[in-house]
């Protein structure tokens, strides 16, 4: 199958590399892109494969590869030997570099940085000021709780962030959020509710242990 994009004459230079804006040559309905729509920037045609798309002022350079149905948007950057595949999304001001891998349905957003040999997979949500330089800097657990949520713990520049579905907090505030959900959403089956609460308590133990590991790294 022919490429779904072409290189235009519009260029930018970043880190000494010249990148060119892309233009869609056919519709990409999964990205709400029509033939003729302009996208983001790539250093070469080899940076983009499958039905993947780069939009806005986002760019892909070096030997980085975005493939499948993956999308890089906003001001996001993918460089080095990084791979963004599957249905993964890299958005906002996020950066993926080095030999990092972002796959599956993972999301890297905000000012997050994923570098080194780190792997972000599955339904992981890496957000805010996350600093992921190793696969050990992300912990993902699912399905958890009555809502079958994905729990994502990420190392950040100042400590950690914990995400459960749409909620973002810390290990210290997790059980407070669980109590709120229990009262508002879980219903009246107390036996089941206690089991679900215990499940979150087990999650908290894993989360606290991983945070301690990061603290030891910093010593």
pLDDT of residue 172: 98
Tokens of 126: 């890496």
First to last CA, the chain: 52
Question: Which parts of the chain have pLDDT scores under 70?
Answer: 1, 219
Final residue belonging to a domain, choices 127, 159, 184? 127
Q: Report yes or no on 144 lying in a domain.
A: yes
- CA distances to 49, 50, 64, 171 from 155, in Å: 30, 31, 24, 12
- Give the DSSP per-residue string, 168-212: EE-GGGHHHHHHHHHHHHS-S-HHHHHHHHHHHHHHHHHHHHHHH
- Domain check: are 195 and 158 in the same one? yes
- Domain check: are 90 and 193 in the same one? no
Q: For residue 68, how far is the Cα from the chain centroid?
A: 15
Interatomic CA distance for residues 98 and 120, integer angstroms: 13
pLDDT of residue 88: 98
- Domain check: are 23 and 100 in the same one? yes
- The CATH number covering residue 9 comes to 2.160.10
Q: Which runs of consecutive H residues, i.e. helices, occur in the chain? A: 174-185, 190-218
- Domain check: are 144 and 106 in the same one? no
Interatomic CA distance for residues 8 and 36, integer angstroms: 11
Q: Report yes or no on 113 lying in a domain.
A: yes
Q: For residue 45, how far is the Cα from the chain centroid?
A: 23
- Domain check: are 122 and 102 in the same one? yes
Final residue belonging to a domain, choices 127, 153, 177? 127
pTM over 0.95: no
- Domain check: are 75 and 34 in the same one? yes
Tokens of 88: 């993964």
Q: Report yes or no on 133 lying in a domain.
A: no
Tokens of 132: 């992921």
Number of domains, the chain: 2
Each as own residue / partner, the long-range contacts of residues 162-166 (CB below 8 Å, 24 or more positions apart, any chain) are 162/207, 163/125, 163/127
pLDDT of residue 1: 55
- Domain check: are 119 and 158 in the same one? no
Final residue belonging to a domain, choices 127, 156, 178? 127
Q: Report yes or no on 132 lying in a domain.
A: no
- Domain check: are 118 and 204 in the same one? no
With tokens 């309905």, the residue in question is 29
Interatomic CA distance for residues 165 and 152, integer angstroms: 9
- Domain check: are 85 and 154 in the same one? no
Domain residue limits at 46: 5-127
- Domain check: are 188 and 92 in the same one? no
């Amino acid at each position: 199958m022919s490429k779904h994009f072409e290189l235009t004459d519009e260029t930018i230079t970043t880190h000494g590399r010249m990148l060119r804006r892309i233009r869609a040559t056919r519709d990409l309905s999964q990205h709400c892109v029509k033939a003729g729509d302009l996208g983001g920037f790539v250093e070469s045609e080899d940076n983009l494969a499958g039905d993947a798309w780069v939009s806005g002022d986002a760019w892909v350079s070096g030997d980085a590869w975005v493939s499948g149905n993956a999308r890089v948007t906003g001001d996001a950057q993918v460089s080095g030997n990084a791979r963004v595949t599957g249905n993964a999304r890299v958005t906002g001001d996020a950066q993926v570099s080095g030999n990092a891998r972002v796959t599956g349905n993972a999301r890297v957003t905000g000012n997050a940085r994923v570098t080194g040999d780190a792997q972000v997979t599955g339904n992981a949500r890496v957000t805010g000021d996350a600093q992921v330089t190793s696969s050990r800097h992300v912990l993902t657990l699912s399905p958890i709780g009555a809502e079958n949520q994905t729990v994502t713990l990420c190392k950040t520049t100042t400590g950690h962030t914990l995400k459960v579905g749409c909620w973002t907090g810390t290990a210290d505030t997790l059980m407070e959020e669980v109590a709120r959900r229990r009262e508002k959403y879980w219903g009246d089956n107390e036996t089941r509710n206690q089991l679900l609460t215990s499940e979150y308590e087990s999650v908290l133990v894993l989360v606290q242990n991983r945070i301690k590991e990061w603290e030891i790294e910093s010593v």
